[in-house]
Amino acid sequence: MASRFGLSVALTTPFEASGQIAISPMITQARACLGAGCSSATLFGTTGEGASVGAGERRIVTEAMLAAGIPAHQLVASVLVDAAEDAAEQARHALQCGVRNILLAPPSYFKNVGEDGLFGWFSAVFAALGPLARGILLYNIPSVTMVPLPLALIGRLRAAFPGVVAGVKDSGGDWSYSEALLRAHGDLVILIGDERHLARSVRQGGQGAISGMANFVAGEIRAMAEDGRDDARVESFVLELLRYSVIPAVKVMVARKTGDERWLAVRPPLEPIASQGRQQLAAAYDRLFATEPA
């Protein structure tokens, strides 16, 4: 039986002043998170600004991670594009490199699409991958994509492509959906992106998380993702992050932890957090994490 998924850090992406990806600190951050108890690092996800990272950059970063000695089985690659051809191309390179999983979001430019349309899109991606298709984690994040993944769609894809769909990452923040997902597809790898629901999901059979907060509190998130242990501090800090644009807010915390201001940079159309916001986040973190978990 395969081991539990555990905790994957949704790795943030640092940028040089030129706008290029700062590969060296990104590798250092991946190593630090793996050393702090994460079982893998997810590249190019929502927290990693994956929608703003091109195919060529993805290849460079993935190959640099491998060349630096990070094992392929400790990498997950996220794919966040609309054209099935582009999605297959990005997934193909990552799978050929041997990554553990592909985190695959639905196409999001066209809104109000039906289940049949989504089934057709995912089917086209899997067909284009052919025998390479494996380890797919379907990504439910309707707050970003505006395209929820119906439970019936997950079942249809499993039936049509046996062994291809490995699991679902649910970042919808809707516990009723998460609970239904665990009931209907609990034999898959069910991962929760909203840390406020993480421990509860693990106690009900979830296999862990892909978490942005693991970039700076990996140990605390690991206890939730692997042991199902509640942590009120983490849940409270989620609310602090949600007061801002979450991606640059997470990067504020990584910059503070590492002392490297390259983490503060984001790619347009995102904008960095202003100085006052950075100070407020730091103060909230110190207030919450200066004490032991309840």
pLDDT value at residue 293: 61
Tokens standing for residue 279: 């100070």
DSSP class of residue 21 equals B
Strand partners, 211: 9
At 131, give phi and psi (nearest 5°): -65, -15
Taking the C-alpha atoms of residue 234 and residue 224, their distance in angstroms, rounded to an integer, is 9
Strand partners, 8: 40, 210
pLDDT digits (tens, 9 = 90+) for 146-159: 999 999 999 999 99
pLDDT value at residue 33: 98
* Residues in the chain where the model's pLDDT stays below 50: 1
pLDDT value at residue 290: 85
Give yes or no for a contact between 52 and 80, defined as CB atoms under 8 angstroms apart: no
pLDDT value at residue 1: 39
pLDDT value at residue 3: 77
| Closest C-alpha among 38, 35, 36, 42 to residue 11 | 42
Q: Under 8 Å CB-to-CB from 137, ≥6 apart: which residues? A: 76, 101, 102, 103, 104, 166, 167, 168, 169, 189, 191
Taking the C-alpha atoms of residue 271 and residue 265, their distance in angstroms, rounded to an integer, is 8
- CB neighbours of residue 20 within 10 Å: 10
